Every structure is written in structure tokens, then in C-alpha cells.
Amino acid sequence: MSLQSVIITGANRGIGLEFVRQLLATQSPPKHLIVTSRQSANPELDQLVSTNPDRLHVLKLEVKDYDSYDGFVQKVATIVGSDGLDTLVNNAGILIYSNLQKVTAEDMLKNFEINSVTPLMLTKALLPLLKSASANRKTAVVNISSKVGSVEDNTSGGGYPYRSSKSALNMITKSLAIDLKADNIRAIALHPGWVQTDMGGPNALITTGESVSKMLDTIRAINDKTLGDFLNYDGKPIPL
């Protein structure tokens, strides 16, 4: 993967923000790095824009505001021009980890909408720009999933909304990989590890720095053998 024309959703904090930091710090940073936030201002992103004004673009996006997608895609198209879009990282997500006693239909639908439906709808909306890049270079859709969405790995039960939303995302990723293969667009689901963020909490095992650095290596190594796969941040396969 060339990572020259990239979108990261949910980039105002946590893993998404670390993707922005690390991509800008690489030897050949993306020519177009488009990152989304639903907040109007973020001091660190604002600072990064001031030092990378031609490269970094922060666009406002509430991922479940489907009516805003046309306008969003137009803005992205204007930024990337004929380069198209070679990497879409669907990172924005929420965690609702209710047990059997507490789970509600509302919890299930809310988690499913943000973690499963919106990555698919955004991918669909951005397909023309992905296809435009895939005509001449490697192109990928990277869905940030979670190991707790692995059916085989589930030995402790519970966590109904989050677990099932990420299992569904893994299935969506597999279908995308098959459907987009002919267009030379690869799709993978990626587990970032248990990461120290607002979502992962302070006791998580790894920092955003370690997670993102290894995920970037894994994304760069995407190939036809990893199509539709569910991979750990270090590139090792996780059973679906």
C-alpha cells in the first residue's frame, strides 16, 4: 500500500489521532491526509494542520448523518483530484458492552449502526474515489474491528452489542473483499490490540503508539492473500 491519499474517520482522539500523528511523521507522508471529526475544533489537530497546511485536511463528519455523505464526498473529491483515494480507514466506533441482564434493543441497534452500518455506507459512498486510485495503484479499505468480535475467540460470553457489531463488521469486510477484488481494492478487518484510549481504559495492554505503528506495517503489507482477512495489529490472523 502506498498510503498517499488516505482517510481516517474518528481522528480527533484515541487510535484515530495517533494514525494522524504517525502518518505525518513518516519519511513519505501522504500527499492528501483527510481526517474526520464530529467536533468543530481540536487543539492537536488544529496545530498539526497549521504545520501541514497542504497535506492535512480535517473534515467534519458525524458518521451516521447519511444525508451529509454527498457533500462530504464532494469535499474529498476536490482535495484528492485525479489522485483518487487509496486508503480508507473506518476507525470511528463506540463500545456498548451490556450483559444479558442489561442489554436492550436500543443498545444493540446503536452499536450496530455505528460499528457495522456506517463503515459499509461510507465505503459505498467513497467507492468512485477508491476506484479512481485503484486503476493505477494498490488501494484498500481497512475496517478497525475488535478481537471480541471473533466468534471462535468468545469464551466468556456477554458484551452483546459490541461483540456482535464487530462480528458483523468482519462479515461486511469479507463481502467487500470479494466484491471489490475485480476493482483491485482490497479490504481487511484489523484488531488494534487492547489499547490505552478512552475506550480501552488506562489498564489496556498497549499504547496507541505501539498499536498504530504495527497497524501501519500491517496495512502496508496488505496483499491478495490477506483479502477479507481479520488480522491482529501485528499482522497475525485472528479466527473469524
Ligand X SMILES: NC(=O)c1ccc[n+]([C@@H]2O[C@H](COP(=O)([O-])OP(=O)(O)OC[C@H]3O[C@@H](n4cnc5c(N)ncnc54)[C@H](OP(=O)(O)O)[C@@H]3O)[C@@H](O)[C@H]2O)c1
Give the binding range for ligand X (CB under 6 A) out of 7-15, 46-54, 102-110, 153-161: 7-15
1 binds ligand X (CB under 6 A): no
* CB 67 to ligand X: min, Å: 14
137 binds ligand X (CB under 6 A): no
* CB 195 to ligand X: min, Å: 4
State how far the alpha carbon of 217 is from the alpha carbons of 62, 137, 158, 183, 213, in Å: 28, 18, 32, 23, 7
Report the DSSP beta bridge partners of residue 141. Answer: 88, 187
Site mask, ligand X, residues 179-198, x = CB under 6 A?
A: ------------xx-xx-xx
* CB 58 to ligand X: min, Å: 12
Question: Which residue among 6, 14, 56, 230 contacts ligand X (CB under 6 A)?
Answer: 14
How many CB atoms within 10 Å of residue 162? 24
67 binds ligand X (CB under 6 A): no
69 binds ligand X (CB under 6 A): no
171 binds ligand X (CB under 6 A): no
Tally of helices (H runs) and strands (E runs) in the chain: 7, 7
Cα(223)–Cα(188) distance, integer angstroms: 10
15 binds ligand X (CB under 6 A): yes
Window 94-123: residues binding ligand X (CB under 6 A): 94-95, 114
60 binds ligand X (CB under 6 A): no
* CB 86 to ligand X: min, Å: 21
Cα(66)–Cα(81) distance, integer angstroms: 23
150 binds ligand X (CB under 6 A): no
Cα(79)–Cα(237) distance, integer angstroms: 35
Residue 202 in grid coordinates: 488506562
From start to end of the chain, where are the E strands? 5-8, 32-37, 56-60, 87-90, 139-144, 185-191, 230-232
Cα(203)–Cα(116) distance, integer angstroms: 26
* CB 191 to ligand X: min, Å: 6
As a whole number of angstroms, the longest Cα–Cα distance in the chain is 52
User: How far is CA 156 from its chain centroid?
Assistant: 26
Window 28-57: residues binding ligand X (CB under 6 A): 38-39
**Binding site residues, ligand X, CB under 6 A:** 10, 12-16, 38-39, 61-64, 91-95, 114, 144, 146, 191-192, 194-195, 197-200, 204
